[in-house]
């Protein structure tokens, strides 16, 4: 059972922890807004919703720093008022004094991880939707990840990418569907590997299948390498790909 001293120390820690969390999140949101949205034409509602959905993720990132600040400030406050000396004189060790703090840190970390794993993917999907559809006005670059696949649309083309590696500008398992003006499938391109170079994509080991209007028989031809030009810059696609932030821990493991 927690004693009066334990409750007093826990109250001090929670106060410093909450204060630090508020300060860190406020600074993060302020700097991010000044950097990305101060000159944007997005509506106040869209920006507000974006940061509303961003806050849980920022909180998750700031919890460790806020915990550290809470520990340092709590022990520092006890030392400054000589309460720490009195506790030592009564026979309590530093480990015993820190026990309620350690229990709270473990509890806060566990709850934070659970919420981020279960609620985080849904919130991040909503955040990405607000950013790409309402703020950037590029709905084609809003991708929805289902297990291990990314879909997005550009003009009359649909792209299906199995895995996207933004750091190396590489993608694996591409299937591209091109439609005509009547939205009839005109061409399908598949590739095992894709090297992203801006609007130029270098495809490797794939096939091109044509669907002629005058014939019901598709024509397929393989290739070792092929270069295509897409409408959007691949940097936008790489930035919009919802990989780990829109997946739970289990799904992230499957995706990787």
| Per-residue confidence band for 256, with pLDDT thresholds at 50, 70 and 90 | very low
pLDDT digits over 32-68, tens only?
888 888 777 788 888 999 999 999 999 999 999 999 9
**What pTM, to 2 d.p., does this model score?**
0.60
**Domain tally for the chain?**
2
* CB half-sphere exposure, 48, CA atoms < 13 A: 3
Question: Do the domain assignments include residue 24?
Answer: yes
Mean pLDDT of the chain: 83
Residue 246 confidence (pLDDT): 52
Is residue 67 located within the same domain as residue 144? Answer: no
- How far is the C-alpha of 1 from the C-alpha of 183, rounded, in Å? 69
Is residue 158 located within the same domain as residue 239? Answer: yes
Is residue 121 located within the same domain as residue 14? Answer: yes
Is residue 104 located within the same domain as residue 182? Answer: no
Is residue 106 located within the same domain as residue 152? Answer: no
For residue 29, CA distances in Å to 8, 52, 58, 242 come to: 32, 10, 9, 21
pLDDT digits over 204-235, tens only?
999 999 998 887 788 999 999 999 888 765 55
- How far is the C-alpha of 157 from the C-alpha of 149, rounded, in Å? 16
Question: Do the domain assignments include residue 155?
Answer: yes
Per the CB < 8 A criterion, the answer to whether 17 and 66 are in contact is yes
pLDDT digits over 133-192, tens only?
788 776 655 654 444 467 777 778 888 888 777 667 788 888 999 998 888 899 999 999
Task: Report which of 120, 125, 121, 173 is spatially closest to residue 149, judged by C-alpha positions.
Answer: 173
**Residue 250 is part of which domain span?**
140-255
Strands, DSSP E only, in the chain?
A: 144-146, 149-154, 157-165, 170-179, 185-197, 200-210, 219-229
């Amino acid at each position: 059972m927690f004693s009066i001293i334990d409750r007093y120390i826990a109250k001090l820690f929670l106060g410093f922890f909450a204060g630090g969390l508020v300060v860190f999140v406020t600074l993060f949101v302020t700097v991010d807004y000044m950097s990305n949205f101060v000159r944007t034409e997005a509506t106040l509602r869209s920006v507000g919703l974006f940061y509303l959905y961003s806050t849980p993720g920022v909180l998750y990132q700031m919890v460790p720093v806020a915990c550290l600040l809470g520990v340092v400030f709590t022990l520092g406050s006890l030392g400054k008022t000589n309460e720490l000396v009195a506790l030592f004189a009564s026979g309590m060790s530093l480990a015993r004094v820190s026990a309620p703090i350690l229990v709270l840190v473990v509890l806060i970390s566990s709850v934070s991880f659970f919420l981020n794993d279960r609620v985080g993917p849904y919130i991040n999907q909503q955040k990405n939707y607000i950013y790409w559809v309402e703020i950037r006005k590029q709905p084609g670059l809003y991708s929805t990840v289902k297990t291990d696949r990314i879909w997005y649309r550009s003009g009359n083309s649909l792209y299906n990418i199995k895995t996207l590696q933004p750091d190396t500008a590489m993608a694996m398992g591409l299937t591209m569907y091109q439609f005509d003006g009547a939205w009839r499938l005109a061409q399908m391109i598949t590739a095992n590997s894709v090297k992203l170079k801006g609007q130029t994509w270098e495809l490797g080991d794939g096939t091109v299948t044509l669907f002629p209007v005058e014939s019901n028989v598709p024509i397929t031809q393989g290739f070792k390498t092929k270069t295509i030009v897409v409408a959007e810059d691949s940097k936008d696609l790489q930035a919009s790909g919802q990989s780990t932030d829109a997946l739970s821990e289990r799904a992230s493991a499957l995706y990787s």
